[in-house]
Amino acid sequence: KIDQILQKKRRLDTLDLTRELRQANQLITELEISRDLTQHIVHIDCDAFYAAVELLDRPELEHLPFAVGGGVLTTCNYVARKFGCRSGMAGFVAKKL
């Protein structure tokens, strides 16, 4: 199997990819010209944001499962997620987990 792979690699190494490289470079140039840098898109994943804030106030919770919220969980830490807790879950269900 290894010999087959090495033989295929040797065959691929001998290919002339000049035309393909030229086409790829032309496409990259066209994309660069049309790129619009006047707008910025920022994606922030705040799934465990409130849990992280709570950890700043109470670092002793770092390795314990905990959630933020009341009747419905706003969020929970990753330790609690291992037990099945999720954002938006009913608080009484999360306590049973």
The number of folded domains in the chain is 2
Same domain for 55 and 29? no
Q: How confident is the model at residue 25 (pLDDT cuts 50, 70, 90)?
A: very high
Q: SS in 3 state form for 37-89?
A: CCCCCCCCCCCCHHHHHHHHHCHHHCCCCCEEECCEEEEECHHHHCCCCCCCC
28 and 56 share one domain: no
Residue 44 in any domain: the answer is no
Angle at 94 between CA 93 and CA 97, to 5 degrees: 95
Question: Which pLDDT belongs to residue 20?
Answer: 94
Look up the pTM and report it.
0.51
φ, ψ of residue 75 in degrees (nearest 5): -165, 175
The enclosing domain of 66 has a CATH number of: 3.40.1170.60
Tell whether 56 and 30 lie within a shared domain: no
| Domain boundaries, position 26 | 2-34
* 60 confidence band (pLDDT: 50, 70, 90): very high
Tell me, yes or no, whether 42 lies in a domain: no
